[in-house]
């Protein structure tokens, strides 16, 4: 029975044939490639086709190939507070050992003398995406009454009461302006 090996290919697959079992040898790769599919399921994700810049170093060690790298891309989605569209850069670092086949059990393994960093890059980027993304750190969100996006000034302004039956209680405040307004209203009623 012959074993048929599946040919490993893709933009994030790197050849390691010339450094396999040669401890101390190293190769570096600098790649720009699009995401093959949408990465992420929450409010934000790296969309299919989004360019990903990958800077990778392969180092041959006794146990396998040590992969160290950085990935940069842009995630897109909506703000978790005000629901506006956002696009933010994401940069991640990763390091993983790709073990030689048939030796010690590792999470990742060399395949046909190639290192497939695709799943590693995808997992690292997806885990770094924010769970509750915001368009800006102090995003005031939406007005609960109107559903309109609040500006930072509108968020600080006092709001009118929702129920008009409570409006008369506003005259019982200790503010000087409120006392003056109540005094003016009483004076007009007397005249």
Which of 10-24, 59-73, 165-179 is predicted least confidently? Answer: 165-179
Contact 115, 19 (CB under 8 A): no
Contact 70, 92 (CB under 8 A): yes
Per residue, the 3-state secondary structure of 13-27, as one string, reads EEECCCCCCCCCCEE
Highest mean pLDDT: which range of 87-91, 134-138, 166-170: 87-91
Shortest CA distance to 114 belongs to which of 1, 2, 5?
Answer: 5
Measured between alpha carbons, how far is 154 from 61 in angstroms, rounded to an integer? 59
pTM to 2 decimals? 0.70
pLDDT value of residue 171: 72
Backbone angles phi, psi at 115, to 5 degrees: -110, 115
The pair of structure tokens assigned to 180 is 């003056």
In this predicted model, what pLDDT tens digit does every residue of 29-86 receive, in sequence order?
999 999 989 999 889 999 999 999 999 999 999 888 999 999 999 999 999 989 899 9
The pair of structure tokens assigned to 184 is 């003016």
Measured between alpha carbons, how far is 169 from 19 in angstroms, rounded to an integer? 80
Task: Tell me the pLDDT band of 155, cut-offs 50, 70 and 90.
Answer: very low
Measured between alpha carbons, how far is 161 from 138 in angstroms, rounded to an integer? 25
């Amino acid at each position: 029975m012959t074993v048929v090996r599946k040919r490993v290919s893709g933009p994030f697959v790197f050849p390691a044939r010339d450094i396999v079992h040669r401890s101390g040898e190293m190769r570096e790769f600098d790649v720009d490639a699009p995401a093959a599919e949408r990465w992420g399921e929450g409010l934000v994700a790296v969309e299919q086709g989004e360019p990903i810049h990958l800077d990778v170093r392969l180092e041959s060690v006794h146990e396998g190939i040590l992969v160290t790298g950085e990935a940069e891309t842009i995630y897109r989605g909506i703000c978790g507070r005000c629901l506006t569209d956002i696009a933010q850069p994401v940069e991640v670092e990763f390091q993983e050992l790709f073990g030689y086949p048939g030796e010690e059990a590792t999470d990742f393994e060399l395949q046909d003398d190639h290192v497939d960093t695709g799943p590693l890059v995808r997992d690292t980027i997806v885990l770094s995406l924010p769970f509750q993304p915001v368009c800006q750190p102090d995003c005031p969100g939406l007005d609960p009454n109107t559903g309109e996006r609040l500006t930072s000034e509108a968020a600080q302004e006092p709001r009118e009461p929702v129920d008009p039956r409570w409006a008369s209680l506003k005259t019982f405040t200790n503010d000087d302006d409120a006392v003056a307004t109540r005094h003016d209203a009483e004076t007009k009623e007397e005249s």
